[in-house]
Each structure stands twice: as C-alpha cells, then as structure tokens.
A and B are shown apart, each in its own frame.
Chain A
C-alpha cells in the first residue's frame, strides 16, 4: 500500500494542464498574442462542444473520438434512502482514445 502511495504521488508530479497551458502552446507555435492564443483554444472547444450538442460525433484522427450515446429510461435508486426513482432517457458522451494515444499512455 505504501508503495502504491509513492507511485501515485510520483504520477501526480506532472500536474494538471489547463486552458492557460494550451494557450501557451498556441503562443509558442504561432506567436499570436496571449489573448488571441486563448481565443483560438476557446474556439476549438466551442466548435467541438457545438457539434456534440447538435448530436454530431467528433473524431480527431490520431487523438480519439467523442461519441454520443442515447440511454433509455431506467429505474435508479437513491443510495442513501433506498427510494426508487426513474432516471429519464438521456444522451451521454464517451471518449474513445485512438490506438496511438493508448500506446503512448500504456508506457
């Protein structure tokens, strides 16, 4: 268990990448201003969100696919009270990583 804990903390050293870091990537690559770089990152996310919210899957070759799935209604249960509640049909989004990404991450 102690070993696992150490492994986890080493893994966490890489930290979390955010929009700001992605904007830095754009800034370094194209030399756009910080503000424009941030806008470009935002526009990419906007177009991805937009397609998905219109019911369209998004496939980025070499990276992966964001796939929409429609779930039927089912009976759920409040885990605290045990009361059964119907869960309405809904659309969910899943990500399927490309083989290239899987290979890089499997290590």
Chain B
C-alpha cells in the first residue's frame, strides 16, 4: 500500500471529507511524527509500534568506489520497534505465508 491508496481508504471511511482534506490530514499526521523525532522525542502507538531515534557515533567510512577513507559525522537516526500485537499479527497462520 502506498500513500495515495491509504488516502483513498480514508476517503472511503469518511465520505464527508474531501480528498484534499484527507491528503492534508494524512500529511500533517506523518509530519508530526517526523517533527517529534527531530525534536528528540518519541512516538508511541500501542499495538502498532514505537518510533524513536538513536545516536550514531562519528566514524571513518570509505568511498566504496575509490576505497578512500571519509569522515562520517555523528548523527541521530530514526528507529522503529514494532509493537507486540503487530509482531504477532504478522505471523497469524495462513496469511503469513500464502502470497
């Protein structure tokens, strides 16, 4: 499923909203998750999972083409941990392996 398909499904669930409104609200929701992480916070959605960030130390990387060493600065990276309920749902018998 891609973003536009998600928008279609929400339009179907909320016939009183225009597609434009749904697109706006879907964007606002995902943006607020990103913004929260950018501010150093977490986002916890019970049953689905939790978004957080992790610190990566500075390291010396390598240009894979030339083999030349390059300094990679320390940074924060996004991290997602699926919730217990979600992990279990992914492995419910038939639907887990038949497609």
Contacts and interface: CB of A to CB of B under 8 A. Distances in A.
B71 to A, nearest CB: 15
A17 B42 contact: yes
A27 to B, nearest CB: 10
Given A17-B41, A60-B6, A105-B38, A25 B75 contact: no
Contacts of A91: 90-91, 96-97
A106 B54 CA distance: 10
A31 B58 CA distance: 45
A16 B89 contact: no
Contacts of B34: 63, 100-101, 104-105
B76 A48 contact: no
A40 B76 contact: no
Contacts of B13: 40, 43
A93 B45 contact: no
B65 interface: no
Given A47-B10, A105-B78, 10 more contacts: A12-B41, A16-B42, A17-B42, A44-B26, A48-B1, A59-B2, A61-B2, A90-B96, A91-B91, A107-B76
28 contacts: A11-B41, A14-B40, A15-B41, A18-B44, A19-B45, A21-B32, A22-B29, A30-B25, A40-B13, A44-B29, A47-B6, A53-B90, A53-B95, A55-B95, A59-B1, A60-B3, A60-B6, A61-B2, A63-B33, A66-B80, A70-B97, A91-B90, A91-B91, A93-B49, A93-B82, A95-B80, A105-B34, A106-B75
Contacts of B61: none
A87 interface: no
A105 B10 CA distance: 28
B19 interface: no
B37 to A, nearest CB: 5
